[in-house]
Structure 1
């Protein structure tokens, strides 16, 4: 594909289905590859011992907070730049991309510095003990140092997606995962002249893979594709653009953080039914992350399509693209449910030999995945609200879904029927919130078409 074609790829005309398929398939490939190599990373660390694995597990809430901020910023970046492309304002899109890179760098460096300076009290607050803190230091000292090299490629990939290119971001994810997987055993266990570095080696392997992605993404978007300006724009312009990105990015980051909070509450609910219930729920969460990969890929490719068509004033294409994705997700996830239901017996035995755990895993598979298509509707509606520059509606939908319906109905179902009631309550919540999401989005599109909802530039 030529440089000009990539730089000015438009989603405001042409076959909608072909556009979405062309964008989603590469993104799905990249996500599968990255997830696979992340599992490899966890496997190698687990070989070091329980304390090392526990230490890295303690780092998750901290790293997830920083990454959630980056995801929010990437959502804001994609929405702002895609709208500019759709409006034909390519020079504004370049300025927006430059500001997004500097904004993310400033925020992540500040968070990393605070995290590094207060590492001990922070992780003690999370429950870390003296036997795990040295390993946490080994890992997080490098993680904080390299965080900006992790976040910049995420923002750069958002710039590419906003321009209609999802193939390059998927290759970047795959490349980073491969480098990390290759370096992990060498740096963790040692090889030839390279000494064994344990947990610290795992962190260094990650930072090296991030550095490679960092260099590649800057070369691509600044020099080869020329999707962003060089240098640093005047301070006033930087602040104005940053406000527009944060207007979408901060609520999106907040919404992203709500899911693990809700899952933590449900885990506590499960704990009241015993360790076997927690174990089964943990397995179910892993199954959900894999079974919903297509939905997650669509949630990254539909927003640029929506934002570009918003910028071009093509609201009928927004509605058509949204409805097409909803129909596809319902059909796809039902097919996934049938496969999981048929294989439930073998899947449960693969994860556990405890009869109580096995029974609950099977029940989970037979009940909750039936609602994954409905859950997908909520995820796609959420991302589409952000793409329409209506982040508070996206945040509101997340709050309503998780804390008005999902968690309360799962808890109430558990009080009535035990663990199976928790599963059933969560399924019923997905039915209700999916209907609310569809109604709210259709109403929003109608309001936008008559100018009732102001959309920030």
Structure 2
């Protein structure tokens, strides 16, 4: 595929001309809305499942690492596509931009095939490795089998939405994601409890509603890419995998995948640490993740919008625009996080009661929410800085930060604190690890600024 710049083909994108604050808000607000809707779907999904019983909620919580791994692969690959595609647009290289889109879709379909196989053959073994409560195993096996076997929906949805966001079409990305989430929310009670003539399917119904919503979102995103995304052309005519482009995508994508996948390992590890205390602790931890997503998802939407802006302007050698974008992103992210911190500190009880919390769940959960939410003080800054690393092709630094926070610091600290015999002590490992993450992020940002931003232009 040609590397020739085709300046006559690609005109200047809004990434390089719109004022920085307006551009960030224009791109991020639709993504923040769509991410917030996605977080709302996650919460509502668990609220409905919790109405079955606590074991159903625990099963879905234990399945979360697998779902998170699927998201890690799809989002991480999307980050690689996003960075390469946006940089190509900044360089006015239409061939490379189109190539990154079709090669990205090709590799994401291969990734989905791996999860389909895992869902068919390893669902039961996964749950038996964590608990011997038969009801949890049965619920979990049903849920995991469905979301894995039909994983092509989430993989296509995320990747196609990233193609839209990488060219500044974040409104359309918002519409596709929001539509999938809304359909999911509507179908959840219908399929779980057997409303409107549907059979009562329980946890299976929650999984089916999830994959239907994801598949619908993917179809809508595909439609928008074909009809309104004129910066790239999706065509598989005479397609051949391009090793150079795939390598470039995964140069950023693999660290991003591993960075998110580490979260799956961490969640699995924490569940293994707290399950010996009580199965309720795993349910509480799952609820925390659902609730904190309502705070983090808008930050991820903001940082996702920031990535193509920085990548484009780095390709266009516009230093001031890069610096202003980073600064404003940090301000907005920190403000959102502080709002989340206040809510978690003031009303943890009402938040937990949304999930049909028992007295035992409240007794465990209220301290959990107050302790872990202390990470919000620094987390917004860390998320933004790690997205900057990815946008500039330094996904390895993001990986190192995530690895250090969740595996080098968090899990060992949680295990050591569990040796005290106090479940409440385990949760203090989260603020401890976040401080380590902040220190590493600032060190890496100073080095990357000196090497890649300071002398631009």
TM more than 0.5: yes
Gaps of 5+ in 2: 1-9
**Match for residue 258 of structure 1 among 258, 262, 271:** 262
Query: 2:338 — aligned with what?
Result: 334
Alignment of 1:391-402 (within 5 A): 391-402=395-406
* 1:172, distance to aligned residue in structure 2 (A): 1.4
| Counterpart in the other structure of 1:167 | 171
The aligned residue for residue 224 of structure 1 is 228
DSSP 3-state at the match of 2:168:
coil
Aligned with residue 438 of structure 2, among 434, 441, 445: 434
Q: Which residue of 2 aligns with 1:325?
A: 329
CA contact (8 A) 1:23 1:164 kept: yes
**TM-score computed with the length of structure 2 as normaliser:** 0.82
Q: Which residue of 1 aligns with 2:89?
A: 85
How far apart in 2 are the matches of 1:376 and 1:446?
A: 22
Report what 1:455 is aligned to. none
Match of 2:156 among 138, 152, 176: 152
Contact 1:97 1:227 (C-alpha < 8 Å) held by counterparts: no
Residue 301 of structure 1, CA deviation: 1.7
Deviation string for 1:223-273 (max 9, x for gaps)?
332344343265655332222112222221111021233344445555677
Write out aligned runs for 1:75-224 (5 A): 75-121=79-125, 124-125=128-129, 127=131, 139-140=143-144, 142-191=146-195, 194-224=198-228
Q: Could you report, residue by residue, the CA deviation over 1:66-115 in whole angstroms, capped at 9, with x for unpaired residues?
A: 23211211111111111112222233212211111122112212431353
CA separation of 1:23/1:422 partners in 2, compared to 1, >3 Å: closer, same or farther? Answer: same
Aligned equivalents of 2:308, 2:369: Cα separation in 1:
33
Higher mean alpha-carbon deviation, 282-291 vs 296-305, is at: 282-291
Kindly state the Cα deviation for residue 345 of structure 1 after the two structures are TM-superposed.
7.1
Question: Residues 23-44 of structure 1: CA distance to partner in whole angstroms, max 9, x if unpaired?
Answer: 2222222122222233333344
Paired residue for 2:66? 62
1:197–1:449 CA distance, 2 compared to 1 (3 A): closer
| Farther-moved stretch of structure 1 (279-288 vs 316-325) | 279-288
- Per-residue CA deviations over 1:349-368 (Å, capped at 9, x if unaligned) read 878674x8767655555554
The 8 Å contact of residues 127 and 141 in structure 2, kept in 1 or not, is answered as no
Residue aligned with 1:292, SS: helix
2:181·2:214 contact (CA, 8 Å) conserved in 1?
A: no
Residues 1:260 and 1:314: Cα distance change in structure 2 (over 3 Å): same
1:264–1:141 distance in 2 versus 1, CA, 3 Å: closer
Judged with a 3 Å threshold, the aligned counterparts in structure 2 of structure 1 residues 365 and 65 are, in CA distance, closer, same or farther, namely closer
| 3-state SS of paired residue (1:11) | helix
The whole-number CA distance in structure 2 between the counterparts of 1:118 and 1:205 is 22
Q: Is the 8 A contact 2:62 2:271 kept in 1?
A: no
Structure 2 residue aligned with 1:303: 307
C-alpha separation between the residues in 1 aligned to 2:421 and 2:125? 41
Structure 1: unaligned runs, 5 residues or longer: 1-5, 453-457
Cα distance, 1:386 vs structure 2: 1.3
Q: Which residue of 2 aligns with 1:16?
A: 20
How far is 1:395 from its partner? 0.6
- Is contact 1:348–1:359 with CA below 8 Å preserved after alignment? no
The two structures have a TM-score, normalised by structure 1, of 0.82
Give the secondary-structure state (helix, strand or coil) at the position aligned to 1:260: helix
| Inter-CA distance 313–415: structure 2 relative to 1 (3 Å threshold) | farther
Q: In 2, distance between residues paired with 1:365 and 1:174?
A: 27
Structure 2 CA distance, aligned partners of 1:144 and 1:285? 20
Report the CA distance shift for 1:272/1:218 in structure 2 as closer, same or farther (over 3 A): closer
Aligned to 2:5: none
Change (3 A) 1:45 1:221: same
1:294 correspondence with 2:298 = yes
Distance 1:186 1:447, change over 3 A: same
* Distance in 2 separating the partners of 1:232 and 1:333: 42
- What number of residue pairs does the alignment pair up? 446
Which range is displaced more, 183-192 or 270-279?
270-279
Aligned equivalent of 1:380, options 378, 384, 388: 384
* Worse overlay, 366-375 or 114-123: 114-123
411-420 or 379-388: bigger deviation: 411-420
Q: 1:92 to 1:10 in 2, by over 3 A?
A: farther
- The counterpart of 2:45, out of the listed 38, 41, 64, is 41
1:273 and 1:123 map into 2 onto residues whose CA distance is 18
Post-superposition shift, 1:158? 0.5
The corresponding residue for 2:3 is none
